[in-house]
Structure 1
């Protein structure tokens, strides 16, 4: 079965778009036959499933022996998985923490065991810095700030100026990615356009149907008094759009901003139903993580924080979010 997904490497460079910023790292081969373990969230999350697939592909290409363990968004469950991973004495661990604060004791245990650790996707806090080697992924607060800029641009494009009301659809409660994006978004929005007020937020649980239900309650309450919506992922924005249409509201008249440039976001921007998204793709996320762990095993010096690029995407630069058919 074929699925649409994002591929950001050679096609973007060939088009001359973000050529320097989007150049992908290349894994060296000295880490061949080393054993690594990836601990990440459940595959029920579309982005998580894509990440797992891309990680496996890149790890195999680098000659790594890899094991992937998924967890529901439950810190205690993932902490138990960390214990099991340590007992297997791998050459390195890649951890996508479901809760960056709750997993600090687990990071400390990995450090004590002398196992190199890459934190992926969910940016850890400063307190945990001594316990891990490299972070790869997006800067959630920076993504939120870019999203705020997109919202201000959307308000102007829709004729609302710099005043109005919006609501937000967030990820799983307590998820660091969601918290960071909302923090960056609200702080930057207050600086750029204090007249745009966030009247409420509700979890969409990284799920389109849950987001549709959450958005429906806001549309029922506020109706046309809401001029925009911020969803911290495009899949959840797709639920918002369905809710708007079912409420008799034309989504093309709303200032709608998501994150990811996933298939749904790409299509909704192309069709004019969504104004913008902020690029955050599983392909780059996984590739950076594999490259970091290979460099660790090879003893190559690298930055402590390795951020993937997260530009704003609208219909004016939609080709920077390239989509191709790939086999799952």
Structure 2
């Protein structure tokens, strides 16, 4: 039994420390021990690439805040920096640490499967967060917590089609698409949802070309600059998230061609919301990184406590356009 003094000190100091690991430096948030004398649940998370966009940055802050608020939880917070090899090393390190559960935001849905299988074999439940791994690895995953990205892509196509119909150009409109990071499940699924749904709702709209923007605003601006040079007639731009969508918008504004182009994204960022307020950007899909982070942590806690969870544990992501945006709070990321 731990002493009362030890428990009191541990309870009083929800401390945030940097812990060096074999894979990378990790942020460890320690919670108080259980009241019954058992140590706190130890949950490890390896993220995709925190520095790449404000959604992932906000997710990490929300995740740490949720862990700090729970006295029975200690988390080891790792970031792969977009590097698959680093993420695999981080997974192996968390397995060696014998954490009670692992949350992974995959850098690549295929490449991480062996590491996820290894955690499963070690008896450590794995929560996949935000972007699922490839189907071949599903049997090694306890639950997926995040958005339904295929539905998001489908809803973006519906937003685009509805706008074209309102403008009377649904029989002639031409669309270009800026997708996310190649090999990344969210990018694949959002593109799939859009590609499959658009011809169902607007069969005469032409999807001219798709190029990756890698979730990066500057890269997406360059992709859009190339589209504008290549195509005289662009009526719509679909981007896999608003960060890329605003990059495309910036290119069109700089070329004096934004007027007459319908911009639709996903994962409504603050910059997308602001562009919608200005009337420059038409619509997106509303998704909260805070909800995302809290849902992942709660899923891990529930699994450790022996609860049964559905394999696909989605939270809702509704459509947002200039017409209904006042119903939604401006994103903080």
Could you state the TM-score of these two structures normalised by the residue count of structure 1? 0.86
**Closer, same or farther: CA 180–325 of 1 in aligned 2, 3 Å:** closer
Aligned to 2:57: 49
Aligned to 1:9: none
User: Displacement of 1:234 after TM fit?
Assistant: 0.3
Q: 1:98 aligns with which of 97, 101, 107?
A: 107
SS at match of 1:166: strand
Query: How far apart, CA to CA, are the structure 2 residues paired with 1:41 and 1:125?
Result: 15
User: Displacement of 1:325 after TM fit?
Assistant: 6.3
- Map 1:143-182 → 2, pairs under 5 A: 143-182=152-191
- Map 1:103-114 → 2, pairs under 5 A: 103-114=112-123
Q: Is the 8 A contact 1:261 1:279 kept in 2?
A: yes
1:76 equivalent to 2:78? Answer no
Aligned to 1:294: 301
Query: How far apart, CA to CA, are the structure 1 residues paired with 2:114 and 2:264?
Result: 36
Structure 2 alignment gaps of length 5 or more: 1-33
Q: Is the 8 A contact 2:59 2:293 kept in 1?
A: yes
User: Displacement of 1:32 after TM fit?
Assistant: 7.7
SS at match of 2:50: coil
SS at match of 2:174: strand
Q: 1:303 aligns with which of 310, 320, 324?
A: 310
Q: 2:46 aligns with which of 18, 39, 47?
A: 39
Query: How far apart, CA to CA, are the structure 2 residues paired with 1:135 and 1:240?
Result: 31
Query: How far apart, CA to CA, are the structure 2 residues paired with 1:304 and 1:124?
Result: 12
Query: How far apart, CA to CA, are the structure 2 residues paired with 1:292 and 1:99?
Result: 21
Query: How far apart, CA to CA, are the structure 1 residues paired with 2:308 and 2:184?
Result: 30
Q: Which is worse superposed, 227-236 or 189-198? A: 189-198
Q: 2:193 aligns with which of 184, 187, 200?
A: 184
**Closer, same or farther: CA 176–324 of 1 in aligned 2, 3 Å:** closer
User: Displacement of 1:114 after TM fit?
Assistant: 0.7
Q: Which is worse superposed, 149-158 or 212-221? A: 149-158
User: Displacement of 1:125 after TM fit?
Assistant: 3.5
Structure 1 alignment gaps of length 5 or more: 1-28
Q: Is the 8 A contact 1:136 1:307 kept in 2?
A: yes
Q: Larger relative CO (CA 8 A, sep 6+): 1 or 2? A: 1
Query: How far apart, CA to CA, are the structure 2 residues paired with 1:237 and 1:51?
Result: 20
Q: 1:250 aligns with which of 221, 244, 258?
A: 258
Could you state the TM-score of these two structures normalised by the residue count of structure 2? 0.84
1:69-104 Cα distance to aligned partner (Å, 9 max, x none):
111323222111111111111111101111111111
Q: 1:280 aligns with which of 281, 287, 292?
A: 287
Query: How far apart, CA to CA, are the structure 1 residues paired with 2:285 and 2:111?
Result: 28
1:19-65 Cα distance to aligned partner (Å, 9 max, x none):
xxxxxxxxxx9998211111011222222111111111112212311
Aligned to 1:26: none
1:321 equivalent to 2:328? Answer yes
Q: Cα RMSD between the aligned structures? A: 1.8
Aligned to 1:214: 223
Q: Is the 8 A contact 1:37 1:93 kept in 2?
A: yes
Aligned to 1:237: 245
Q: Is the 8 A contact 2:47 2:78 kept in 1?
A: yes
Aligned to 1:21: none
User: Displacement of 1:198 after TM fit?
Assistant: 1.3
Segments of 4+ moved more than 4 angstroms: 29-32
